[in-house]
Amino acid sequence: MSRKGMARRLRCRSGSSGGGFTLLEVLMVVVVLAILASMTFGYFRTLDSARITSTQGRVHSLGIEAATVAKLKGFPPAALEELTSRLSQSGWIRDGKFVDAWDHPFEYRVEGKSFRLWSRGADGVSGTDDDLEYKRN
């Protein structure tokens, strides 16, 4: 190829004739990415809401069983693991302990003839706003 042909070829590639994206094309890509991001964040919000609901159900069921044992025996079980024979929920137990939907073990304290049962919530830290506690009716 001659020098003149090579120079013309380079000028066409680096020149302003048809080499870039239009503003409309860039805006369309940004809009599509924003829609995908909002769908993803909505999914995570829904997933977190489902975990909260599932954990509330687990706390309630465990609390009902512990209260039933307390009523029958006159005192609550010393540990939640004593309830495994009464509750056959295989997904609720990891490494021999009852866990919430975030796979954190439940917190359980016996205080005399009463007990306290709660999940540490999504952050896994006890005593924060996201804790889910069993409340007797």
Mean pLDDT of 52-70: 93
Task: Please provide the DSSP assignment of 20-79 as one string.
Answer: S--HHHHHHHHHHHHHHHHHHHHHHHHHHHHHHHHHHHHHHHHHHHHHHHHHHHSS--SS
pLDDT at position 9 is: 52
What pTM was estimated for this model as a whole? 0.66
Strand partners for 116: 109
Mean pLDDT of 104-124: 93
**Among 10-19, 68-77, 91-100, the least confident range:** 10-19
C-alpha–C-alpha distance, residues 79 and 59, integer Å:
14
On average, the pLDDT of the chain sits at 84
Instruction: Tell me if residue 108 falls in helix, strand or coil.
Output: strand
C-alpha–C-alpha distance, residues 52 and 104, integer Å:
13
- Domains of the chain from N-terminus onward: 21-133 (3.30.700)
Mean pLDDT of 26-50: 83
Mean pLDDT of 101-117: 93
